[in-house]
Amino acid sequence: MRQQDNKIIFTGPVGAGKTTAIGSISEISPVSTDVQASDMTLNRKGETTIALDYGLMQLGDGVRVHLYGTPGQERFDFMWEIISKGAIGLIVLIDNSRPNPSGDLQFFLNAFKTLRTHAPLVIGVTKTDQAPQPSVEVYATLLEKFGLHPPILEVDPRNGDEVRQLLMALLFTIDPGLEG
């Protein structure tokens, strides 16, 4: 990856909104590798991502920020480490309507623990209109046990402004004094 290229990883369980979130802020039509779901994923959505989602933000002068969405299914976890190599930030989207969203969060924090050692983390909680609990406070209490205090924000992945706020939280986590 060239010096001028930088990437941010969106991860989370099936149906959390990774593909939608990337699509809502990408400046290109997001590249997606969704196929008809053929397993238990079908219970949650008709199509699912089998390789990755890709979006792009261009900052001018050839500087680009690549947005990668990981496949949500565990059987594709071998790809997660490959995709996350060199990433400057990790956004975990948690679908609050799933049976055990707190367990999902712990799973993905563990899956990306290598990336978390050197890249900031932001949690986006989706579908809180369908399932308000667990609340942000519950997630914060859980994360505090791991010594983590990341931004935890409710978001609608279809809303580009809210996805952008996730990214801004990521930037301010790195540097609260960041100017721009």
Residues of the shown chain interacting with another protein in the complex, contacts defined by CB under 8 A: 6, 25, 57, 59-61, 63, 65, 88, 117-120, 132, 135-137, 140, 143-144, 149-155, 160, 162, 164-165, 167-169, 171-180
Nearer to another protein by C-beta: 77 or 141? 141
Beta carbon of residue 105, minimum distance to another protein (angstroms, whole number): 14
CA distance 134 to 88: 28
Residue closest to 92 by CA, chosen among 105, 101, 103, 81: 105
Nearer to another protein by C-beta: 99 or 177? 177
Nearer to another protein by C-beta: 51 or 138? 138
Q: For residue 117, which phi and psi values (nearest 5 degrees)?
A: -70, -25
CA distance 113 to 105: 12
Beta carbon of residue 90, minimum distance to another protein (angstroms, whole number): 12
Longest dimension (CA), the chain: 47
Beta carbon of residue 19, minimum distance to another protein (angstroms, whole number): 19
Nearer to another protein by C-beta: 100 or 141? 141
Beta carbon of residue 106, minimum distance to another protein (angstroms, whole number): 16
Beta carbon of residue 139, minimum distance to another protein (angstroms, whole number): 9
